[in-house]
Chains A and B, each alone.
Chain A
Amino acid sequence: MIRRTTPRVRRGGAVVAMTVSAALVLAGCGGDGGNSADDDGVSLEDQAVGAMDDFQADQQFTATEPVTFSMLWTDWPDNPITDTWEVFDEIEKRTNVSLDLTNIPFSDATEKRSLLISAGDAPSIIPLTYTGDEVQFAAAGAVLPMSDYVEYMPNFQKYVEEWDLSEMMENLRQDDGKYYMLPGLQEVSVPVFTLILRKDIFDEVGAEIPETWDELQEGLEKIKAKYPDSYPLADGFEGQSMINYAAHAFGTVAGWGLGRAVFWNKDKGEYEFAGNDGYREMVEYFEGLHSAGLLDAESFTAANDGAGTVTEKFAAGEVFAASGSAGTVQEFATALDETVGAGNYELVQIAPPGGPAGQVVEPRNFWNGFMLTADAAKEPNFLAMLQFLDWLYYSPEARELLRWGVEGETYDKAADGTITLRPEYSYDAYNINPDGKTDLSKDLGYANAVLSDATESRSLKQSYNSESLVEYIEKVTSTRTPRDPFPAAPLNELELEQSALMSTPIKDSLNTATLQFILGQRPLSEWDDFLAEVEGQNLAGYLDLINGAQKRLAEKTD
């Protein structure tokens, strides 16, 4: 195994382990023992059942004896596990690992997962963990500090370095300096949600594909002139999506990206309230759109529940630009086929427009990864588990398996790396080989939503996506700059409790005021009054909390 020479991690691990053990003794905790690993968790010589001795990156992992790991599986309604699924058999064939799955329904997966972990009854491996999901469990010690174990995970280390993600990994560190989940690594990271335009309409009125929000406004005005009854721009996700990708261009965070409602001010070197000047400009911009009749107000408060009204309006020609992901494009297309007819329209996903802060998009993102519940560290085959997960999540071979299946059986790979799906197989979700009899995803289980999306190299990602998405990726990576990630400011358990209660009213006020201002329910002149109201909700105390945490971690890791 590759020996990682970072003495700090080792020392840190040992120190933390000793502190925790001491705390356990002092607290006389009679609990389930789920609070921390018993030994120092770094040396795994006595937990190496089934592990490979010289496991290296880009190498096939095969356990030296058959092992079984328990994993949480989210049951997607349109892609359930069926008897014909082969993916698990194939994994077992290659790695000698069989997976014992605990099924949870997709509909309330977060709640169920939270319940299982809280009750101490969760399986060892928890996939589909997004960054931030682990925080509440980390503080309680219900999940393992992965940073202690990455020395055993060569694939992970290799790609973190190759794809320049180490700084982002640093930001996952919690209050004790460790990080508690391993994310899915993405070689390229582009915003999932952006603006979808009806290009044919834009062409019709002579509007260019907008590169900035101001250009968008010009285009919308032209459309409105031609179609006065329409409200050309809509969101459909209660406004949260649009202000999210707009916020980066205005120098703030909003909507889905609001997070803790704070923004890192580089010049001042501290966190400020998200409702800063940039936020104000953004609100003014959207208010302008609304008062000019360019904005569909309802889409800013209605949730998109699948058969959302925005889709209907899109199909009915009342809306010509809306927020969405690649999946939403599909939805619009299905609806437009009914009303306008296939071939009579053109939908395009554009790179998020730029604004006063430049052509800035959201910072590069990790995608879903996994975390391990505390009990896993007691397993005799723990090392094998780490190696298995390293292979499964980060080795290109496993990634290809999880997307395309078995080379030579379901797909062929040319010398230059191009992947072609064999004609008997289809991949309906992305409209590949629609005539194929067996579906890669539904029937064989290879491209499933639980494991397949986590880590992707650029070439893999582009191998299955539509051309328009590839163009979109190209456009974003070449013309847009991801904002630098914020420095980490992890809170400890008590602070987390406090911050939950402090941040909720502040965030509520911001969200409410945003909508009120945009929709004209409150005049923009009252912006400063609004800020004063938020101050009155102990904004200063909240900012102190976060800034304090940031400084604390900065000192620790310096």
Chain B
Amino acid sequence: MKAARRPSGIRDTKGYRVFTVVNTVLLLAVCAIMLYPFLTVLAQSFSSSGAIKAGQVNLIPVGFNVETYAAVGRDKQFWTAYGNTILYTVVGTTIAMILTTFLAYVISKKHLRGRSFLIGVAVFTMFFNGGIIPNYVLISSLGMKNTMWAVVLPGALSVFNLLVMKSFFENLPRELEEAAQIDGLGWWGIFTRISLPLSKAVLATMVLFYAVAYWNDWFAAFLYLDQRDLFPVTLHLRNLIAGASTAATESAAAAGSQKDAISANIQAVTMILTLIPILTIYPFVQKYFVSGVMLGSVKG
């Protein structure tokens, strides 16, 4: 994002310079506390299992080795799961973006008759949902169990995202719309030629939100899939490190301690491998976060 507010030739006030220093220090501190756990897990992924269990790994690997990465890399199942995740994320995000932008655009039109009804219909679903079993039965009776659609469709419209997008659409200047209407564009034309291009920042944000949501989601897969080669990698990871891990019964603890025999470093490696790709989406998205996107269109 360009710092459009600071054309050259104007000096900072002293107060502002102090503020900049303080700000930088603060942000660095924020970075440090955000980064620390992540770096520790990264270090663990390169450490030996014993060292991890002994609590010796802090920020630096102990007993450095890349064997675990190699072992995980050789695991076919892991890569199948990875492919699944990518597929679900891409398909899911696409569908979600279509549904959300369409509906958000429509309900952002204040003159529309029935607008309040549509908004109400959407908002109501934010609070009232049927619970696990009715959803399960629905997916099952639609024949979607053990298909990609069971993972992709249930989360394909987030009302939260819908409302945020609606808010952004409403914020677009109406003159543009009116000018376009004079030029003969209908609602669809305005949508594709005016509203969408001007909303790059929020669209990019929504793509990011949905993509991350799909990437991290293990719950839908857990509910609706029971064939291992359909599992996404996040379910695989959850299986590795968690579960409601407070052992409420002895048998659960006994089962758990069998599971814990897995090397602690496999958990760390799987986590890093799951994390990294999604983090790399952000730079691509970021170029849309540019200010002044709407500038030229308003003046005159």
Direct contact of A and B (CB under 8 A): yes
CB of A83, distance to nearest CB on chain B (Å): 9
A26 to B50, CA, bound (A): 63
Known: A115-B133, A307-B53, A316-B54. A338 touches B48 (CB 8 A): yes
Residue A429 lies at the interface, judged by CB distance under 8 Å to chain B: yes
Number of interface residues of A (CB under 8 A): 57
A339 to B, closest residue via Cβ = B54
Given A77-B259, A103-B228, A331-B53, CB of A237 within 8 Å of CB of B247: yes
Look across to chain A and name the residue whose beta carbon is closest to the beta carbon of B253.
Answer: A237
A312 surroundings in chain B (CB, below 8 A)? 53-55
The minimal Cβ–Cβ distance linking A554 to chain B, given in whole angstroms, is 27
- List the B side residues contacting A285 at CB < 8 Å: none
A339 CA to B254 CA in the complex, in Å?
Answer: 26
A328 at the interface (CB under 8 A from B): yes
The reply to whether B133 and A325 form a contact with Cβ atoms under 8 Å apart is no
B54–A80 contact, CB under 8 A?
no
Q: Which of B137, B238, B257 contacts A328 (CB 8 A)?
A: B257
Contact for B258 among A110, A121, A327, A339, CB less than 8 A: A327
Contacts A77-B236, A103-B226, A237-B247; A311 near B261 (Cβ below 8 A): no
B248 / chain A contacts, CB cutoff of 8 Å:
256
B158 within 8 A of A: no
B220 at the interface (CB under 8 A from A): no
Q: A315 with B55: in contact, given A105-B235, A237-B253 (CB under 8 Å)? A: yes
Interface string of A429-447 (1 = CB under 8 A from B): 1000000000000000000
Which residues from A are CB-within-8-Å of B257? 324-325, 327-328, 331
CB distance from B229 to the nearest CB of A (A): 10
Task: Verify if B15 is at the interface (C-beta below 8 Å from A).
Answer: no
B51, B137, B235, B236: the one contacting A119 at CB < 8 Å is: B137
Contacts of A368 in B (CB 8 A): 251
Shortest CB–CB separation between residue A329 and chain B, in angstroms? Answer: 10
A337 to B48, CA, bound (A): 11
Please determine whether B243 and A108 come into contact, CB atoms closer than 8 angstroms: yes
Partner of A106, one of B52, B223, B239: B239
Contact partner of B133 (CB less than 8 A), chosen from A118, A256, A328, is A118
* Residue from B55, B136, B240, B244 having most chain A Cβ neighbours under 10 A: B55
Q: Which residue of B lies closest to A105 (CB)?
A: B239
CA A303 – CA B244 in complex, angstroms? 11
Complex CA–CA separation, A415 to B287 (angstroms): 76
Q: Does B8 contact A (CB under 8 A)?
A: no
Q: Flag if A335 contacts B53 (CB, 8 Å).
A: yes
B119-149 contacts to A, CB under 8 A, are 132-133, 136-137, 140
Docked pose: A293 CA to B244 CA in angstroms = 32
A327 touches B261 (CB 8 A): yes
Please pick, from A305, A325, A334, the residue contacting B50 in the complex, using a CB distance under 8 A: A334
A288 on interface, CB distance cutoff 8 Å = no
The residue in chain B whose Cβ has the minimal distance to the Cβ of A303 is B246
- Chain A 46-78, CB-CB to B under 8 Å as 1, else 0, gives 000000000000000000000000000001111
With a cutoff of 8 Å between Cβ atoms, the chain A residues found around residue B262 in the complex are 77-78
B contacts with A: majority SS: helix
Selected from A121, A325, A429, the residue in CB contact (under 8 A) with B254 is: A325
Q: Which residues of B contact A309 (CB under 8 A)?
A: 55
B67 contacts the other chain (CB 8 A): no
B259 lies within 8 A of A334 (CB): no
User: What's the minimum C-beta distance from B224 to chain A, rounded to whole angstroms?
Assistant: 10
Residue in B51, B53, B140 with the greatest tally of chain A CB atoms within 10 Å: B53
Nearest CB on A from B166, distance (A): 35
Give the Cβ gap from A387 to chain B, nearest Cβ, in Å. 26
Q: Does A515 contact B (CB under 8 A)?
A: no
Contact of B250 among A118, A241, A307, A315 (CB under 8 A): A241
Q: Which residue of A lies closest to B140 (CB)?
A: A121
The answer to whether B249 touches A307 (Cβ under 8 A) is: no
CA distance A238 to B226 in the complex (A): 33
A112 contacts B by Cβ under 8 Å: yes
Inter-chain CA distance A121–B138, complex, in Å, is: 12
| Interface pair B254/A192, CB less than 8 Å apart | yes
B222 in the interface, Cβ–Cβ < 8 Å?
yes
Interface residue ranges of A279-329 to B (CB < 8 Å): 303-307, 309, 311-312, 315-316, 324-325, 327-328
Residues of chain B within 8 A of A115, CB atoms compared:
132-133, 136, 223
Contacts of B241 in A (CB 8 A): 306
- Contact across chains for B259 and A256 when beta carbons are under 8 A apart: no
B-contact bits for A70-99, CB 8 A (1 contact / 0 none): 000001111011100000000000000000
Contact B222 A108 (CB under 8 A): yes
Q: How far is the CB of B46 from chain A (nearest CB, A)?
A: 15
Given A78-B261, A256-B249, A119:B238 Cβ within 8 A: no
With contacts A119-B137, A327-B257, A334-B49 taken as known, whether A316 is within 8 angstroms of B243 at the C-beta atoms is: no
A324 to B248, CA, bound (A): 15
Contact flag A238-B246 (CB < 8 Å), given A75-B239, A77-B239, A325-B257: yes
Contacts A76-B259, A77-B239, A77-B240 given; indicate if A338 touches B50 (C-beta within 8 A): yes
Cβ B52 vs Cβ A192 within 8 A? no
Residues of A within 8 A of B55 (CB): 307, 309, 311-312, 315-316
B13 interface residue per 8 A CB criterion: no
Closest chain B residue to A112, Cβ basis: B222
**What's the minimum C-beta distance from A521 to chain B, rounded to whole angstroms?**
21
A331, B242: Cα distance in complex, Å: 17
Q: In the bound complex, do residue A105 and residue B77 qualify as a contact, i.e. CB atoms below 8 Å apart?
A: no
Tell yes or no: B66 within 8 A of A by CB: no
Separation in Å of the B126 CB from the closest CB of chain A?
A: 23
- Min CB distance A115 to B, Å, is 6
A326's nearest neighbour on chain B, judged by CB, is B257
Q: For residue B291, give the distance in angstroms from its CB to the closest CB of chain A.
A: 44
CA distance A109 to B258 in the complex (A): 15
Residues of B contacting A102 with CB < 8 Å?
A: 226
B259 lies within 8 A of A192 (CB): no
CB distance from B18 to the nearest CB of A (A): 43
Pair A307/B264 contact, Cβ less than 8 Å: yes
Instruction: Tell whether A130 is near chain B: CB-to-CB under 8 Å.
Output: yes
Evaluate contact between A78 and B259: CB separation under 8 angstroms: yes
* A residues apposed to B, CB below 8 Å: 75-78, 80-82, 102-112, 115, 118-119, 121, 130, 192-193, 237-238, 240-241, 244, 256-257, 303-307, 309, 311-312, 315-316, 324-325, 327-328, 330-331, 334-339, 368, 429, 449
11 interchain pairs (CB within 8 A)? A105-B235, A107-B222, A109-B243, A112-B222, A119-B140, A192-B250, A306-B245, A312-B54, A325-B253, A331-B53, A338-B62
Sorted from nearest, which 3 A-B pairs have the closest CB atoms? Answer: A312-B55, A107-B243, A327-B257
Query: Known contacts A77-B239, A331-B257, A337-B50; can you find 19 more A-B pairs with CB under 8 A?
Result: A77-B236, A78-B261, A81-B228, A106-B243, A109-B243, A115-B133, A119-B133, A193-B250, A256-B250, A303-B245, A305-B245, A311-B55, A315-B55, A325-B253, A330-B261, A335-B53, A339-B56, A368-B251, A449-B258
Q: Hey, which bits of chain B sit against chain A, CB under 8 A?
A: 48-56, 62-63, 77, 132-133, 136-137, 140, 222-223, 226-228, 231, 235-236, 238-262, 264, 267
